[in-house]
Amino acid sequence: MSVIVLESVTKRYESGAETVVALENVDFHADRGEMVSIIGPSGSGKSTMLNVIGLLDTPTGGTVRIDDRVVSDFSEAELTEERRSGIGFVFQDFHLLPMLTAVENVELPSMWDTSVDRRDRAVDLLHRVGLGDRLTHTPDELSGGQRQRVAIARALINEPDIVLADEPTGNLDRDTGATILDELTRFTTDEDVAVVSVTHDEQLVEYADRVVELIDGVVQE
């Protein structure tokens, strides 16, 4: 069963007299254990689509479903809860908190959840991305590739159903990017999550089980 489904989703930005259609009638779904790549030229709506999938943005038209629940009915608090428990994020420029150590950054999404102790899982995830010896380092003591691996561990801490990555290799050199993609692919099967990544880098496509191409907000068949 699909983790997330978009049905004829449309996103329009109105700014004064002008209207930008960022997404038009987009149908999409992602399943556990698969790696989906979204590609397309700059400005084609890839980030917008990922934000809609990640419940960070609400579409102007169409339906978003998570486990057969319609997201447009969700309150702000329910959206936050859903992001916390079901969705992991990896950003292009890592977005780690500079005053927290690697392991604290990984724990961050569950930090306010005092009922569970995620320390062991955070340490385990960092070992699995090859940073077992960097647990107490702060982000400025880590390389770009290491930072992104911390970010991947953070995305997985709450055992999500889906991990969203917007140009995860955009700030990394080719080889480092390749190792990051290897990690993501490995977790797709190991943790049985759906991974949806955006890129305009052809490289990512090699790793994908499925590729969705966007041009001017329209999915190309």
Partner 1 sequence: MKPSDLLTRFPSVLMAWRNLGRNRVRTALATLGIVIGVVAIASLGIAGAAIQQQATTDLGSLTNEVTVTSGQDSDVDGVTDDQVARIERLLTDARVVPQKTNTTTIESREGEAFVTVTGLTEASALYNASAGEAPDRLQSGALLSAGTARELGLELGDPVEYEGRLYRIRGLIEAEGGFGGGGNELVIPPSGLADQQHYDSVTIVAADGEAATAIVDRLEAEFNDGEEEELSVTSFASAQENIDSFLNTLNLALLGIGSISLVVASVAILNVMLMSTIERRGEIGVLRAVGIRRGEILRMILTEAAFIGVIGGAVGALVSLGVGLVLFDAVAGDALLVVRWSSARYLVFGFAFAVVASVLSGLYPAWKAATDRPVEALRG
According to the binding rule CB under 6 A, does residue 15 interact with ligand ATP? yes
* Residue selected from 2, 4, 5, 47 as contacting ligand ATP according to rule CB under 6 A: 47
CA proximity to 7, closest of 56, 78, 59: 59
The residue number whose beta carbon is nearest to Mg ion equals 47
According to the binding rule CB under 5 A, does residue 47 interact with Mg ion? yes
- What residues between 70 and 89 interact with partner 1 by CB under 8 A? 76-77, 80-81, 83-85, 87-89
Least Å from the CB of residue 198 to ligand ATP: 7
According to the binding rule CB under 8 A, does residue 54 interact with partner 1? yes
Residues that bind partner 1 (CB under 8 A): 51, 54, 56-57, 76-77, 80-81, 83-85, 87-89, 91, 95, 97-100, 108-109, 111-112, 114, 154, 158
